[in-house]
Amino acid sequence: MGKVPIKTEREIGLMRESGKLVAEVLTLVGCRIQPGITTGELDQIAEEYIRSNGGEPAFKGYGSDKNNLFPATLCISVDDEVVHGVPNGRILREGQIVSIDVGVLKDGYFGDSARTFAVGKIPEEKERLLRVTEESLYKAIEKAKAGNKLHDLSAAVQEHVESAGFSIVRDLVGHGIGKDLHEEPAVPNFGVRGTGLILKEGMTLAIEPMVNAGTYDVVVASDGWTVRTSDGKPSAHFEHTIAVRNGEAEILTR
């Protein structure tokens, strides 16, 4: 693990601005999610809003394979898609769940957040999946205090998710964030309390539980981006960017 950057109050202030824009995009897009809209239309709404407010989409053009950079503003993942779904002409249908993940670069700093939404009325088991996943995120945030260990967050997610009978994805993790979209440290959603690095005031983390209704095993689709559950069961994803404080963590993407 490399060095974990500690942010100044000025830097956290700039991240708060990026985070505010991220939160506004999720609210705006969330209001438009209904049966009949395409994932591409949602992506266009998000990109226009980000650019008109002085930000840049963080995900567009992202990637290590220069022949397959991410082509869109949002990651939109439906039902058994865990993360990194690519927006296109796909029409959303009643009963689906859809994860919207958005990153914004503004004034040199990143914000990153995700929420999973219901499309119309969804089955009770999907509702429970969404509720447990979001609860697990807030259980992790409660542990994100200076002096605690990083895996205190990880264990809080894992315990809550597994006690509800769901599974936590192992192959993908949260991350530090700031001047770069992905910084040290990696923030797993599973682990042993009392292990990992000691959290310090001014660390900024993107905490993002990805929770599957079935097995935690995932596969990457042929597009090189979309991650799906290996058993075809639904998955939910919630994420906030936070700043570690001596007391309660500050959510920068609320």
Domain map (residue ranges) of the chain? 9-251
Token couple for 90: 């796909």
Q: What is the pLDDT of residues 56-100, one digit of tens each?
A: 999 999 999 999 999 999 999 999 999 999 999 999 999 999 999
Instruction: Report the relative pairing of strands 183-187 and 210-212 from DSSP bridges.
Output: unpaired
Instruction: Please give the Cα distance from 145 to 245 (Å, whole number).
Output: 6
Query: Residue 106 — very low, low, confident or very high, per pLDDT cuts 50/70/90?
Result: very high
Q: What is the pLDDT of residue 2?
A: 81
112 within 8 A of 60, measured Cβ to Cβ? no
214 within 8 A of 199, measured Cβ to Cβ? no
Q: Which residue has the tokens 């939404």?
A: 117
pTM, rounded to two decimals: 0.98
Strand partners, 106: 109
Q: How many other CB atoms are found less than 10 A from the CB of residue 200?
A: 12
Report whether pLDDT(130) > 80: yes
Q: What is the pLDDT of residue 203?
A: 98
Residues 25, 26, 28, 29: is their CA dihedral positive or negative?
Answer: positive
Q: How many CA atoms lie within 13 A of 240 on its CB side?
A: 22
Instruction: Report the relative pairing of strands 227-229 and 218-220 from DSSP bridges.
Output: antiparallel
Token couple for 145: 């205090």
Instruction: Please give the Cα distance from 101 to 77 (Å, whole number).
Output: 8
CATH code for residues 9-251 = 3.90.230.10
Region 162-191 average pLDDT: 98
